[in-house]
Amino acid sequence: MAQISTSDIRPGMKVEVEGQPYFIVSNEFVKPGKGQAFNRIKVRHLMTGRVVEKVFKSGDKLPEADIVESSMRMLYKEADGAVFMNDESFEQVTISNECLADSAIWLLEDTLYDVVFYKGSPVAVSPPTFLEMTITQTDPGARGDTASGRVLKPATLESGAKVQVPIFVNEGEKIKIDTRTGEYVSRV
């Protein structure tokens, strides 16, 4: 893989540090008056999402991480993961529950997801920012709820996600959800 010098590293780039894949969050140049220059680089781990700070000698080169993102369609869920298909090559991959992590609650059949591959293996899945889903369970809103200041109630969606919805929406209705925050956006 290509090597990137500390002076060319920009946020969003993907690099490998100590054998682990990271996204660059920020890169700060520091030069003590009479000391040698170094770079304080904040990185986010590709799989765990943990942000850490790493220090490098200015001018050091970091290997670019072998990371590829591709759009894949979710076919079906299995006990230990979910199966996705590439629409062009019809190639199928099974992604484990461990890699699905927080995205597991946003899985809908026949929907496109961004799948991240590291060294050829799928490591993470990100759902579309907005998803439309049917409410499979929610209690009816009771009269007087708004008067007592209560405007939201719990609801379960077809993917299994548990979210808060306004008291006026009912079971069986389709709603739009922001997957970044899990917040209700609108009725569809």
Q: How many residues bind other proteins (CB under 8 A)?
A: 18
Residues 36 and 104: their CA atoms lie apart, in Å, by 46
Instruction: Please select the residue that binds other proteins; options are 55, 68, 151, 188, rule is CB under 8 A.
Output: 55
Name the residue nearer to other proteins (CB basis): 41 or 72: 41
Structure tokens at 97: 């529950």
From 140, 146, 143, 101, select the one nearest 155 (Cα to Cα): 140
For position 18 contacting other proteins by CB under 8 A, the verdict is yes
Name the residue nearer to other proteins (CB basis): 7 or 121: 7
Write the DSSP assignment of 92-154 as a string of letters: EEEEEHHHHGGGGGG--TT-EEEEEEETTEEEEEE--SEEEEEEEE-PPPPTTTTTTT--EEE
Instruction: Please select the residue that binds other proteins; options are 8, 11, 30, 146, rule is CB under 8 A.
Output: 30
Query: Taking the complex as a whole, how short is the minimal distance between the CB of residue 32 and other proteins, in angstroms?
Result: 5
Name the residue nearer to other proteins (CB basis): 32 or 149: 32
Instruction: Please select the residue that binds other proteins; options are 3, 29, 92, 164, rule is CB under 8 A.
Output: 29
Q: Give the interface with other proteins as residue ranges (CB under 8 A).
A: 17-18, 28-38, 54-58
